[in-house]
């Protein structure tokens, strides 16, 4: 026996209906009055379409059979009115729907970007840029398409069909029945035929993300690509992804195209049945030929809306792929949560303490029960081989991640218990290659303190030894620095980053010293700028310079996520342990030079 439950046509196995329901309830509410107006226009489109079929009856009976001259003018005038009205209504409906659609896209893009900025570091570790772009960039557009598809198909098309069916039923109920027998097989047939479109549409999105990823990597790494002659390899990678998309697109096209013969054949059957029955009634039973023509016009006009309605399911399935990706981002709760009614962090001395901190990025622990203290107002150097966990420690202090166990305490307050904003407001970070945005130098420095005055910005730049070189730039403080600060030299970038941190004037400074060698003059300028910056702050520095460790009040030596030695340079050097070996390896030349 047939078990309809198995057909899946009426079911919602992948949650499409659920998703569409959510999309509508969340996004349509704000625009109800405008949708009501759009529906009035749609009803006008439907009524005028039905009227254009209805009038065929008089065209045939009055003009062609009765040869009534006066009726020619009346009917021509009526047709003009009907089509003018239809044009006006279609215009009104299109304008409203596009405007509402544009607003929905704008709302969603703002909502998506807000959500994206709320995500924590772990999310960005997991996601590639193309994946994020697809979610934020195309999600809103897909949502708009799906909403429009539903509103137009369930509004205009259904209303039009109702109007046309009414015309048909009034003309001849029995003939209507003959025309409708093909409807159930058409809907079921189309749905069954193109069920698999969903699968290919999903795969297509994945392959598109691969194209984006290859493009991004090639552009970002273009120097390496060119220097190593990797252009053919990158082209091959791209060709693979493009071929994949092509395969999916062709499969979707083939599956979708299969519906045409089905619809044409079934449509042909319906029309043949109607012509047979209608022709017989007119010829043999002397029925009204005008009614027959009105009927057949309505039937032909019903074809397009009926086809769209039959394919709504599959078009929705294709459309919701982007919507699903969008909601995955919206629904992604950041792992890092702030406790309710958390107080702000109050920094006085700026003492930082790590108590038995255990942290893993996923596999293997990056920090294994790390305990250490950075005294307020002092400089604490972190030293350790690559991979020891120094950068991870910084990330935990800024609360980009939470440790699995253990606590990080600033001036007696556990950082998990205070607001994220206040924690980060009290910390300035200067990295080896701090990111600069493609904004003016001024705006990049002002990142440290939004709304800062020109005088404050200049003072920070002077303290960072950056003011002079900035004045020499083509547009001074208004010069755009290029994406990632690419139009500045490495040393200039660092000084702008230091100026940014100066302006922030936070009591805690996290500093990742540059490993790359700069020319002596540039290095001296950066060094003196950093010394100004470090004065009177709690500074934790990932040290790469002998002078830094020598001047540090305290050095913590890390090895494989653990604290292994602590003390001053002289104490540790005497001790002849890991630190001494690290020094000999890392700072060897400089130690010799210093002696
Ligand atoms: N985002 C990440 N996802 C997964 N593992 C990571 C991530 N960042 C770092 N790790 C791992 O955590 C460990 C500690 O890395 P971390 O960057 O903290 O070391 P480090 O001491 O700062 O090294 P370096 O001096 O080379 O910068 C390493 O084994 C590294 O592979």
Gap between the Cα atoms of 462 and 481, Å rounded: 18
Does residue 135 sit in the same domain as residue 164?
A: yes
The verdict on the CB of residue 7 being under 6 Å from ligand 1 is no
Give the residue whose CA is nearest to atom 3 of ligand 1: 361
Cβ neighbours of residue 289 under 8 Å, at least 6 residues apart? Answer: 60, 61, 65, 282
Does residue 395 sit in the same domain as residue 420?
A: yes
% of the chain with per-residue pLDDT over 70: 94
Does residue 123 sit in the same domain as residue 238?
A: no
What pLDDT does 457 receive? 94
3-state secondary structure 271-321: HHHHHHHHHHHHHHHCCCHHHHHHHHHHHHHHHHHHHHHHCHHHHHHHHHH
The verdict on the CB of residue 126 being under 6 Å from ligand 1 is no
Q: Which of 415, 505, 417, 492 is nearest to 460 (CA)?
A: 505
Gap between the Cα atoms of 572 and 257, Å rounded: 76
**Ligand 1, pocket-test mutation among 390, 556, 558, 585, most atoms within 8 A of CB:** 390
- Phi, psi at 558, each rounded to 5°: -110, 145
Phi-psi region of 219 (alpha: psi -120 to 50; beta: other; left: phi over 0): alpha
Tens place of pLDDT per residue across the chain (595 aa): 444 444 444 456 667 888 888 999 999 888 999 999 999 999 999 999 999 999 999 999 988 888 888 888 999 999 999 999 999 999 999 999 999 999 999 999 999 999 999 998 889 988 888 788 888 878 888 899 999 999 988 899 999 999 999 999 999 898 899 888 887 887 788 777 767 787 788 788 778 878 888 888 888 888 888 988 889 999 998 999 899 989 989 988 888 888 888 888 888 898 899 889 988 888 888 888 999 999 999 999 998 898 888 778 778 877 888 888 899 999 998 888 888 889 999 999 999 999 999 999 988 889 999 999 999 989 999 998 888 999 999 999 999 999 999 999 999 999 999 999 999 999 999 887 778 898 899 999 998 788 889 999 999 999 888 999 999 999 999 999 987 788 888 888 988 998 999 898 899 999 988 766 566 676 777 888 888 888 889 999 998 878 788 888 999 999 999 999 899 888 888 887 888 888 877 764 554 444 4
In a domain, 25, yes or no: yes
In a domain, 3, yes or no: no
Give the residue whose CA is nearest to atom 28 of ligand 1: 387
Out of 269, 303, 331, a domain closes at: 331
Tell me whether strands 413-414 and 405-410 are parallel, antiparallel or unpaired: antiparallel
Out of 273, 296, 331, a domain closes at: 331
What pLDDT does 454 receive? 93
In a domain, 341, yes or no: no
Gap between the Cα atoms of 310 and 303, Å rounded: 10
Does residue 124 sit in the same domain as residue 220?
A: no
Does residue 484 sit in the same domain as residue 418?
A: no
CB of 233 closer than 8 Å to CB of 281: no
| Full strand arrangement of the beta sheet holding 508-512 | 427-430, 508-512, 538-542, 379-384, 554-559, 562-567
Domain that holds residue 486: 436-505
Give the residue whose CA is nearest to atom 8 of ligand 1: 392
In our burial notation (b when 16+ CB lie closer than 10 A, e otherwise), range 56-74 reads: bbbbbbbbeeeeeeebeee
**Ligand 1, pocket-test mutation among 359, 368, 372, 387, most atoms within 8 A of CB:** 387
Per DSSP, 477 falls in state G
- Angle between helices 312-331 and 289-310 in degrees, nearest 10: 30
- CA distances for 449 relative to 390, 400, 406, 423, angstroms: 27, 20, 32, 15
Does residue 92 sit in the same domain as residue 105?
A: yes
Out of 218, 233, 252, a domain closes at: 252
This prediction has a pTM of 0.78
Does residue 546 sit in the same domain as residue 591?
A: yes
- CA distances for 357 relative to 150, 365, 398, 590, angstroms: 53, 10, 14, 33
pLDDT tens, position by position, 120-162: 888 998 888 878 888 887 888 889 999 999 998 889 999 999 9
Gap between the Cα atoms of 411 and 422, Å rounded: 13
The verdict on the CB of residue 557 being under 6 Å from ligand 1 is no
The neighbour count for residue 162, using CB atoms within 10 Å, is 15
295 Cα: distance to centroid of ligand 1 (angstroms): 75
What pLDDT does 359 receive? 95
Task: Tally the residues of the chain.
Answer: 595
389 Cα: distance to centroid of ligand 1 (angstroms): 6
Does residue 280 sit in the same domain as residue 422?
A: no
The verdict on the CB of residue 124 being under 6 Å from ligand 1 is no
Q: Which of ligand 1's atoms lies nearest the C-alpha of 394? A: 18
In a domain, 201, yes or no: no
Cβ neighbours of residue 352 under 8 Å, at least 6 residues apart? Answer: 373, 374, 397, 408, 409, 410, 508, 538, 540
**Total domains present in the chain:** 4
- CA distances for 476 relative to 292, 334, 458, 533, angstroms: 81, 40, 11, 23
Does residue 466 sit in the same domain as residue 545?
A: no
Q: Which of ligand 1's atoms lies nearest the C-alpha of 384? A: 21
What pLDDT does 133 receive? 83
ipTM here: 0.94
Does residue 513 sit in the same domain as residue 501?
A: no
Gap between the Cα atoms of 462 and 456, Å rounded: 10
Q: Which of 535, 231, 203 is nearest to 379 (CA)?
A: 535
In terms of DSSP H, where are the helices of 372-432? 390-397, 420-425
Q: Which helix (H) or strand (E) holds 577?
A: none
- Tell me the longest C-alpha to C-alpha distance in the chain: 120
Q: Which of ligand 1's atoms lies nearest the C-alpha of 558? A: 21
């Amino acid at each position: 026996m047939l078990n309809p439950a198995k057909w899946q046509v009426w079911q919602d196995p992948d949650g499409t209906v659920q998703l569409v329901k959510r999309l509508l309830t969340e996004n349509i509410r704000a625009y109800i009055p405008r949708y009501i107006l759009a529906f009035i226009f749609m009803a006008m489109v439907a009524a005028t379409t039905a009227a254009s079929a209805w009038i065929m009856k008089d065209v045939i009976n009055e003009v062609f059979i009765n040869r009534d001259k006066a009726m020619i003018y009346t009917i021509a005038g009526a047709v003009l009115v009907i089509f003018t009205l239809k044009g006006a209504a279609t215009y009104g409906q299109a304008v409203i729907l596009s405007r509402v659609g544009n607003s929905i896209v704008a709302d969603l893009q703002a909502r998506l970007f807000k959500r994206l900025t709320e995500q924590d570091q772990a999310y960005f570790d997991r996601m590639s840029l193309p994946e994020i772009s697809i979610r934020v960039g195309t999600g809103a557009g897909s949502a708009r398409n799906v909403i429009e598809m539903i509103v137009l198909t369930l509004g205009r098309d259904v209303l039009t069909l109702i109007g046309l069916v009414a015309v048909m039923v009034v003309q001849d109920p029995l003939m209507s029945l003959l025309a409708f027998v093909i409807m159930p097989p058409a809907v079921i047939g189309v749905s069954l035929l193109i069920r698999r479109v969903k699968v290919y549409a999903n795969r297509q999105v994945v392959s598109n993300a691969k194209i984006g990823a290859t493009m991004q990597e090639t552009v970002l790494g273009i120097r390496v690509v060119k220097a190593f002659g990797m252009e053919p390899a990158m082209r091959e990678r791209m060709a693979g992804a493009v071929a994949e998309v092509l395969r999916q697109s062709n499969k979707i096209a083939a599956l979708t195209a299969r519906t045409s013969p089905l619809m044409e054949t079934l449509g042909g059957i319906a029309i043949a049945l109607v012509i047979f029955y209608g022709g017989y009634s007119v010829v043999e039973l002397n029925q009204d030929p005008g009614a027959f023509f009105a009927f057949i016009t309505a039937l032909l006009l019903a074809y397009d809306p009926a086809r769209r309605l039959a394919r709504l399911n599959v078009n929705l399935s294709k459309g919701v792929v982007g919507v699903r990706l969008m909601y995955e981002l919206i629904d992604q709760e950041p792992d890092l949560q702030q406790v309710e009614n958390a107080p702000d962090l109050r920094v006085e001395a700026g003492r930082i303490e790590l108590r038995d901190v255990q942290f893993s990025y996923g596999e293997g622990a990056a920090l294994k029960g790390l305990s250490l203290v950075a005294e307020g107002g002092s400089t604490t150097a972190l030293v350790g081989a690559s991979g020891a966990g120094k950068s991870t420690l910084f990330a935990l202090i800024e609360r980009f991640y939470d440790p699995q166990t253990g606590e990080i305490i600033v001036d007696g307050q556990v950082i998990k218990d205070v607001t994220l904003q206040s924690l980060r407001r009290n910390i300035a970070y200067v990295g080896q290659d701090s990111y600069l945005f493609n904004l003016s130098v001024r705006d990049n420095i002002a990142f440290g303190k939004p709304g800062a005055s020109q005088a404050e910005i200049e003072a920070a730049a002077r303290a960072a030894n950056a003011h002079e070189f900035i004045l020499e730039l083509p547009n001074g403080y208004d010069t755009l620095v290029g994406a990632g600060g690419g139009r500045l030299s490495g040393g200039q970038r660092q000084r702008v980053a230091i100026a940014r941190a100066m302006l922030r004037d936070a009591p805690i400074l996290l500093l990742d010293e540059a490993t790359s060698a700069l020319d002596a003059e540039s290095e001296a300028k950066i060094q003196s700028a950093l010394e100004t910056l470090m004065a009177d702050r709690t500074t934790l520095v990932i040290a790469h310079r002998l002078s830094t460790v020598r001047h540090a009040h305290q050095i913590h030596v890390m090895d494989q996520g653990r604290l292994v030695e602590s003390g001053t340079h002289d104490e540790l050097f005497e001790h002849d342990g890991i630190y001494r070996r690290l020094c000999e390896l890392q700072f060897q030349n400089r130690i010799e030079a210093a002696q």
